[in-house]
Structure 1
Amino acid sequence: MANETRLEYDSLPAVTPSYLRAATTLSGGLAGDETIPPIVAELPDLEVRAEELAKYRKVCGFQHGPHLPVTYPHVLAFPMHMAVLTHKRFPLKLLGLIHLRNDITQYRAIETAEKLHIEVSVGGHREVEKGVEFDLVTRVRDRAGELIWQEDSVMLSRQKTNVPKSAKKKRDDGLGFEPDEQTTWDVPENIGRRYASAAGDYNPIHLSPWSAKLFGFPRAIATGMWTKARAAAELEPKLEKSAYTLSLGFKKPVFLPSQARFAYSVHEQGADFALTNANGDIVHLLGDIRYL
């Protein structure tokens, strides 16, 4: 692709330089006809480290088994996400980006001993009422080159756009499905630090009350990808197939510490699920699983 920037690795890049670039990038935005240029990072033959996988399983609630948790390739690719989103050609500020939606398609279960080819890419944008949206895409292939896993993350950078404000929507308190089961999650104050230790995601809004306050939050909030992984860990043993798309939208943050209610319905097409506060009147996330 013309004007494409390629980052080629033979091992995962260190995340510390990316965090330093993120912390020292004071401004960012798109002007005029500018868009996000195509940036692609690629790493072949990545091996999973058993001790890191075990740590992730423990903090997210996954059972031990011969296959990777459905959300684990996101963690494997995270250093490459950081490298792409802090590259000098990426025009937006990383700190302050909002993760709106995350869709993962697992075409087959991935064995823990497999060597994986990972590719991360961005490019282009969409103007919306609240700012600029873009897609961060991660693809995982096996040694034969077959696509076995893909993640599409929709990210938002708040800034002024020419999109007119729409009429305020009437609040919908429903979940869109009738739950068959529900469980209570105790979300501890230290879950952001524990997840960071297992996944490498040290975003300050998840680590402590004082660091979260620097970004306008009264308390630290749970990492969105931890809530997704925790949901997947609870649902995976109930699923009949290993090839599916796991989609969700992030709604309201989960402040730490707190109790949350996980409600779900498993059916022949997959499952529907939601995470709310303990009273059920604040929705943190809504998602579904659909078999391929």
Structure 2
Amino acid sequence: MDATRAARGGEATVRTLTAAPALGPLLLRGALRSPLKRTPHTGAPLPGTRLVLPSARIDARRLAAYAEVCGFPEPGPEVPLPLPYPHVPAFPLAMRVLTERAFPLPVLGLVHTAIEVTRPGPPLLPGDRPELSVHAAALVPHRRGTEVVVVTEARLDGELVWESRSRYLARHPVPPGSAPAPGEPMTTEPAPAEPATTDGGAERAVEWRLPGGLGRRYGSASGDRNPIHLHPLTARLFGFPRAIAHGMWTFARCLAEADRQGGPELRGGQPVAARAAFRAPVLLPGTVRCVLRDAGAGATAFTLRSGDGRTHLDGEARYGDVNGDEGEGPAGTAPGDRDLGPQGPTGAGSGSGSGTGSGDLSGGTSAPRA
């Protein structure tokens, strides 16, 4: 059930939901409608629908499972939600936007290419009941197709306290002359400046051994049970040799490691912003290394690589005071030329202060927490 009304001062339609939609039927709807979508282009109209879920409840059991599999501290009444966590209860709303009949891109094969998260207000707590809203903000050109920018917001008493901007790529042939030239930004938005590294800043690295069931564990915690993450047999239906890790798990796990390696203490407060570019999928089971380094201005940069040197993700976490008054979020993510791999439609270790650590995420062993 939902209520629909025209938004004041614009053409957008605000649709208020009484409950979060179920993801399973949305994935099925997206799969059935995808073959009917025409070749997308940046001039295609977006539906202009803003979905709103007032007073969203944080599921304590799901939050605990999420914190465990991602390596965040054990939840408690006064423990702030992990910075990326609001993406979890809001994800069904995003999927409903992406699977609408009027949405121009096919949901099958969408690639999650980047995410930027900012916390302009006080951190959300497990007992809060935020209003969640999701809308598709823009279509932008990409050298391999068209990207959609999906904006998710969380509000408490009308105040914006959390926001994310995700980019999802629909691959399709690009007419000659319409794609960015080599060396130019891949989207219509300016690329961010590279973070300045501090002289003499030592890299810290930790190795994680990822079990084949990691996708099922994160899927159970997040609700995202996309078949490419669950089992080799279902992943092969979509062209993968094995199941792949959720892109949002790699992002969350790197953020948890940045926190664990002293981010809040060394950088002056809680994480207030983070961004990441998803470069290539992580096959399961597998072994990866998370490399962290000082990025200056109260920030920690992180990169996730496999043993052969392939980069799967890189990003940055920025820290400030607990009220969100310090620092600005990282610049909008518009990654440069990168080896993109599907992270699914939308589709773990210990270490010391320096040097290299290792960890095993196999079986029921939980990731170490701060």
- Quote how far apart the aligned CAs of 1:166 are: 3.4
**Structure-2 change in CA distance of 1:63 and 1:164 (3 Å):** closer
Distance 1:235 1:4, change over 3 A: same
Relative contact order (C-alpha < 8 Å, sep 6+): which is higher? 2
User: TM-score normalised to the size of structure 2?
Assistant: 0.72
CA distance in 1, matches of 2:81, 2:232: 32
Question: Residue 34 of structure 1: CA displacement?
Answer: 2.4
- 2:17 is aligned to 9
Matching residue's letter, 1:223: H
- Secondary structure at 1:227's aligned position in 2? helix
Q: Confirm whether residue 48 of structure 1 aligns to residue 58 of structure 2.
A: yes
Q: Paired residue for 2:31, among 23, 28, 31?
A: 23
State which drifts further: 233-242 or 100-109: 233-242
| Aligned-partner Cα distance in 2 for 1:32–1:164 | 11
1:131 CA displacement: 0.6
Q: Which moved more, 1:157-166 or 1:222-231?
A: 157-166
- Alignment match, 2:346: none
Runs of 4+ in structure 1 deviating by more than 6 angstroms, as ranges, are none
Taking the aligned partners of 1:82 and 1:32, their CA distance within structure 2 comes to 20
CA-to-partner distance for each residue in 1:16-35, whole Å, 9 max, x for gaps?
22022022122323369423
Alignment of 1:1-292 (within 5 A): 2-25=10-33, 26-28=35-37, 29-30=39-40, 33-65=43-75, 66-107=79-120, 108-142=122-156, 144-162=157-175, 163-164=178-179, 166-167=181-182, 180-237=203-260, 238-240=262-264, 241-266=269-294, 269-279=298-308, 281-291=309-319, 292=327
User: Structure 1 residues 161, 44: closer, same or farther in 2, change over 3 A?
Assistant: same
- Cα distance in 2 for residues equivalent to 1:290 and 1:31: 34
Q: Deviations over 1:167-225 (max 9, x none)?
A: 489xxxxx996652100011111111111111111222211112112222222111100
Q: CA deviation at 1:5?
A: 3.7
User: Which 5+ residue runs of structure 2 have no aligned equivalent?
Assistant: 1-6, 185-194, 320-326, 328-370
Distance (Å, rounded) in 2 between the aligned partners of 1:23 and 1:179: 46
- My pick for the range that moved more, 148-157 or 235-244, is 235-244
Query: TM-score, structure 1 length as denominator?
Result: 0.90
Distance 1:32 1:273 in 2: 32
Contact 2:16-2:52 at 8 Å conserved across structures: yes
CA contact (8 A) 2:42 2:139 kept: no
Counterpart CA distance in 1 for 2:146 and 2:272 is 29
Aligned pair in 2 of structure 1 residues 131, 179: CA closer, same or farther (>3 Å)?
farther
CA root-mean-square deviation: 2.2
Displacement of 1:63: 1.0
- List gaps (5 residues or longer) in structure 1: 170-174
* Percent identity (aligned): 35
CA pair 42-218 structure 1, distance change in 2 beyond 3 A:
same
Provide the residue aligned with 2:336 in structure 1.
none
Partners of 1:112 and 1:132 lie apart in 2 by: 36
